[in-house]
Amino acid sequence: MTWTQIYDPMGNMALSSFMAAIPIIVVFYLLAVRRTPGQIAGVIALTSAILVSIFVYKMPVNLALTASGMGALYGIFPIFWIVVTAIFIYNMTVETGQFDVIKDSIATITDDRRLQALLIAFAFGAFLEGAAGFGAPVAISAGMLVGLGFNPLYAAGLCLIANTAPVAFGGIGIPIIVAGQVTGLDTMKISAMVGRQLPFLSVIIPIWLIVLMSGWKSTIEVLPACLVAGVSFATLQWFSSNFLGPELPDILSSLAAIISLAIFLKVWKPKNIWRFPGETSAAEVKKAVKSELTFGSVLKAWSPFIILTVMVILWGLKPVQAVLDSVTYKWLVPGLDKMVIQVAPIVKVPTGMAALYKVNWLSAAGTSLFIGSIFSAMILGVGPSRFIAIFSKTFSQLKKPLITIPSVLGLAYIMNFSGMSSTLGLFLAHTGNFFPFFSPFLGWLGVFLTGSDTSANALFGNLQSVTAQQVGMDPILSVAANSSGGVTGKMISPQSIAVATAATGLVGKEGDLFNFTVIHSLILVVIVGVMTYVQSYYLTWMIP
């Protein structure tokens, strides 16, 4: 028997929105105030969402539990699979001593911590976002920064904030493509509009990172490098999104930033080499760099990450994906598929929500990383028994995230299937002429809940389009704002927090990391809101 979603169960939109927000309030309270370990906060928040869905939204118990279970399964595969394989590759380089060579090679480019953060957290992280998406960028880049000697909290926080600029186009343009699919709008126009918003953030983010690390005065010393990274990234992001499409902006932009920054640092050095307080001085670091560092040794040390890069690009190619997807196992979840009916204004006509769980075990990004780890083991001389031992150690290291990640994905799914997310979206949509300002907040909310800009666009894309037409706003702008605003919610999504803490050894410290990023998330979404408001009413020529 089907069940139809109710978006105002209390008969008062404000009160219904408050009830729908209870799981989010619980997450904020547990992480920000109580600093509760992520696995505990995740389970409590999921439980609260299930209770609200049953007792407030009158969702049948079997549907509520099944929706939560489906979300938890997606948390295990593909999300956790990406995390465990990414960290496994990093651990292999550490266990074999190759990460010491990587550290030395980076020190030959720059031993300034500010510039290392630009190269790895901002530029390399953006490349991984464009190629793989999901948790890979933060897991790998944060792990690398910790290996270089960064404070784990700073490493995780910087990588989460740096992962703002590329998220809207992450994973070969999938978020924008999905936005076009759910709204029926021209995907190229949505891509172009996002490309006329995010480049402003892309210029700001490198500067923002360094100010957060070392303060404004110290940032001035490396401002030229920040501008080289930010402007090169933003320029290619604008060009590719407006003239090539949504698939390549992240990859091209990040490559431009990496190459430009590497070349620039060959001819320019900061006046002072900045290190963390109490850390080994730059002069001592240079003395410690192995004199026998050769091209061959450096190439061998970097080979796992080179292979990783090649694999995620290869896996992202559509012809390759088509072949690998041919062995995907798919299940229509019994008792849930088409059993929950969405109605207007969330959808144009009453529609049963699909509940399809698939195990794309070959085409999953985590599988590309695992296959890459096998090739890496062959190059690094890691035999089968040691390979298994390192993988077992990695899995053991991630026991708590194995609880956290499925819990927060279960939370996202129950809020979506119960209609709680839609209630919150409709509440924001009732802001009338101020909707252009609040439009990005819908995307922010969606990514906070799901950890994915793709999911946020699927969740709120149609609502953005319908509401925009009602208030006289161009729907292209509102749908693009959903994606642009969504990127600012990535850094505080419980899913992202869980991945970052797992990669940096901060499991149990999710509350500290949440507090580290939350104020930046709120400031950035307000900036996107102001930008969208101005474009809607005063700079309409910017809308394609």
Q: What is d(CA 48, CA 411) in angstroms, rounded to the nearest whole number? A: 9
Stronger pLDDT, 222 or 369, i.e. the higher one? 222
Q: What is the mean pLDDT of residues 273-299?
A: 71
Closest to 224 measured CA to CA, from 165, 275, 265, 266: 265
In the block, tokens 């790998």 appear at: 140
pLDDT band at 284 (very low <50, low <70, confident <90, very high): low
What pLDDT, on a 0 to 100 scale, did the predictor assign at position 292?
A: 67
The whole-number average pLDDT for the span 128-143 is 74
Mean pLDDT value of segment 152-177: 84
Q: Whole-angstrom Cα distance, residue 544 to residue 532?
A: 14
More confident call, 110 vs 203 = 203
Q: Distance of CA 125 to CAs 56, 253, 294, 379, Å?
A: 41, 11, 26, 24
Average the pLDDT over 176-196 and give the result: 89
Alpha-helix residue ranges (DSSP H) falling in 348-397: 365-380, 384-397
Amino acid (one-letter) located at 304: P
Q: What is the pLDDT of residue 308?
A: 81
Region 50-69: mean pLDDT is 96
pLDDT, residue 68, reads 95
Strongest mean pLDDT among 10-24, 296-310, 389-403: 10-24
Residue whose C-alpha is closest to residue 410's, from 364, 450, 360: 450
**Above 80 in pLDDT, residue 313?**
no
Strand order in the sheet with 340-342: 3-4, 340-342, 351-352
pLDDT of residue 281: 57
Task: Assign 543 a pLDDT band (cuts: 50, 70, 90).
Answer: very high
Percent of the chain whose predicted confidence (pLDDT) is above 90: 50
How far apart, in whole angstroms, are the C-alpha atoms of residue 162 and residue 272?
A: 23
The mean pLDDT of 229-252, rounded to a whole number, is 90
The residue-averaged pLDDT of 214-228 equals 95
Q: What is the pLDDT of residue 268?
A: 93
The confidence band for 538, taking pLDDT boundaries of 50, 70 and 90, is: very high
- Which residues lie below 8 Å from residue 240, measured CB to CB, with a gap of 6+? 195, 248, 249, 252, 253
Burial of 188 (C-beta count, 10 Å sphere; 0-12/13-18/19+):
middle
